[in-house]
């Protein structure tokens, strides 16, 4: 029971440092894009959640760097939801170069559904769970 | 009639690109910090303006790059207000390495006082003009 | 005689500020992506130029902000080359929301072909001019 | 046996997101600045290491977000070295608002001394260990 979405990212010049490789913080930006598109693919737009008064702050991140990515590399980010979204949403990420198998980066983030007004954790709307159900069963 | 404030910025690793020099966009971030501190020095905190319902979006930027800055360089950014803040606030910037005279970067930004609610241009509060008056006369 | 390439950019959360709009500096990042893809479309990969010892630093930027873009907006960036690349490469940009006609942002950058070793301006390789010729004539 | 260095960081507008708080990735930038200044305070400039052919890539990061920081907040980042730098350098971070005691963010990074030419892990230069010795004993 898991939903994995693959997102592609082209490495940009501004993301590379004097070592000639992607600076470590930028993978977190790629993770944001990957999970946003994974949610959109599931039928949940984060902008709609915000309009309903729900925000999803990141409460925890972990990243391990196994190997470098270079300028203009095409990266594939696999965004992995291993369980039904609850108050907390754990997501795993693995990054490899398109057409290669070596894992360059692995990551994990925990997001939290939160009431924007009260800034308190809250359960996800039913429609989020309904959107993820068929993908997690697949 | 002018007010010039000098802000120091240490170049960070994340700001440098594979050419080994500061990537061009980061100077705009340094300009933001410089003008914020110039205003604070004048007695005006931007956070207080926001709390009063006034925002100051950037409506125009120009930057010319004359020479490279390198990792760990200590840069001096001169932030120059040439006139009393009105609806529009033009600001000029020059950047040089501490202890040297060559100008590395010159820039110009135009900010605009705006009513946050209505998103319409507005005159600056009197206390902004009062804060800048003695500095501009000096 | 001009070559215009259209690039799409989805606005990301990290690009938006407390005013709820795209922070002004991020358009320069979008311009970088746009011109890189415009060059790739013309048959010139910037990474290949670097491998040949040629770099293309930005020597000048100008941006005018006419209206705000919001989180998750799909933006269209038109990247416009109005002349054959020479030592200097002027490029114009206009940004609008997909499906709308209002121009949100206009920009201009000047890049410079430079010998990476000597850090001196240089003429672009013949193959760059040959790649752009049919597009500029079209 | 530990060396803790305190670094101050003023929250900038570009670091804040539509929730009005510091976007989660920017703490990693603050950590970079903090450890660079902690090393400088110990007598080790990272730029000198690079000039000697040694680089220090980040191989692992972890961050926990306990509470929000707001625009213009003055943050204190405590950078904590719990052991003598070896091939791997583990560093802990805690962030709180100046004048308050609540911990907003905790983090951990592991850096690795690496031969820049061969891209292989290497032992730190003796002078690094000599520079840290008195601070760790204190």
- Please report the pLDDT score of residue D1 as a whole number: 76
Q: Are D137 and D1 in contact (CB under 8 A)?
A: yes
Number of domains in chain C: 1
Distance (Å) from the C-alpha of residue D14 to the closest C-alpha of chain C?
Answer: 6
Alpha-carbon dihedral angle through residues A128, A129, A132, A136, given to the nearest 10 degrees: 160
Q: Which residues of B, range 25-54, sit inside 8 Å of D by Cβ?
A: 29, 32-33, 36, 45-47, 50
Confidence of residue C1 (pLDDT cuts 50, 70, 90): confident
Chain C residue with the nearest C-alpha to that of B31:
C25
Confidence of residue A132 (pLDDT cuts 50, 70, 90): very high
Using DSSP's 3-state secondary structure scheme, residue C81 falls into strand
Using DSSP's 3-state secondary structure scheme, residue C119 falls into coil
Closest to A104 in 3D by CA, of D93, D89, D91, D57: D57
Residue ranges in chain B whose pLDDT is less than 70: 138
Question: Is the confidence at residue D138, as pLDDT, over 80?
Answer: no
A45-84 burial, b for 16+ CB within 10 Å, e for fewer? ebeebbeeebbbbbbbbbbebeeebebbbebbbbbbbeee
D17 touches chain C (CB under 8 A): yes
**pLDDT single digits (tens) A48-63:** 999 999 999 999 999 9
**In the block, which residue shows the tokens 């057409």?**
A99
Residue D49 dihedral angles phi and psi, to the nearest 5°: -60, -45
Strands (E), D3-98: 3-10, 54-55, 58-65, 74-81, 88-97
Q: Which residues of C, range 59-78, sit inside 8 Å of B by Cβ?
A: 59-65, 68
d(CA C6, CA B6): 40
Q: Do A32 and C45 touch (CB under 8 A)?
A: no
Using DSSP's 3-state secondary structure scheme, residue B92 falls into strand
**pLDDT single digits (tens) B72-105:** 999 999 999 999 999 999 999 999 999 999 999 9
Chain C residue with the nearest C-alpha to that of D24:
C14
What sign for the dihedral angle of Cα A96, A97, A100, A104? negative
Query: In chain C, which residues have their Cβ closer than 8 Å to the Cβ of D71?
Result: 18
Q: Residue B105's domain is classified under what CATH number?
A: 3.10.129.10
Q: C99: how many CB neighbours lie within 10 A of its CB?
A: 7
Residues 6+ apart with CB under 8 A from C51: none
DSSP state, C116?
Answer: T
Q: Do A18 and B16 touch (CB under 8 A)?
A: yes
Q: Which residue has the higher pLDDT, B96 or C20?
A: B96
Q: Do A18 and B23 touch (CB under 8 A)?
A: no
Residues 6+ apart with CB under 8 A from A67: A102, A103, A104
Cα separations in angstroms, D110 against A63, C24, D43: 11, 33, 20
D76 burial via Cβ count (<10 Å: 0-12, 13-18, 19+): middle
**pLDDT single digits (tens) C79-91:** 999 999 999 999 9
**pLDDT single digits (tens) A82-113:** 999 999 999 999 999 999 999 999 999 999 99
Chain A residue with the nearest C-alpha to that of B12:
A17
A18 touches chain D (CB under 8 A): yes
Domain that holds residue A26: 3-137
Cα separations in angstroms, B118 against A53, B55, B115, C124: 22, 11, 6, 49
């Amino acid at each position: 029971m898991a939903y994995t979405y693959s997102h592609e990212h082209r490495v940009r010049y501004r993301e590379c440092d004097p070592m000639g490789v992607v600076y470590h913080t930028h993978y977190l930006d790629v993770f944001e894009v990957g999970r946003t598109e994974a949610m959109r693919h599931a039928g949940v737009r984060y902008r709609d959640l915000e309009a309903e008064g729900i925000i999803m702050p990141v409460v925890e991140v972990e990243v391990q760097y196994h190997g470098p990515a270079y300028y203009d590399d095409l990266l594939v980010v696999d965004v992995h939801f291993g369980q039904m979204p609850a108050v907390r949403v754990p997501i795993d990420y693995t990054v490899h170069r398109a057409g290669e198998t070596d894992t360059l980066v692995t990551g994990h983030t925990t997001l939290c559904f939160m009431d924007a007004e009260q800034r308190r954790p809250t359960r996800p709307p039913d429609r989020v769970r309904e959107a993820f159900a068929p993908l997690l069963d697949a």
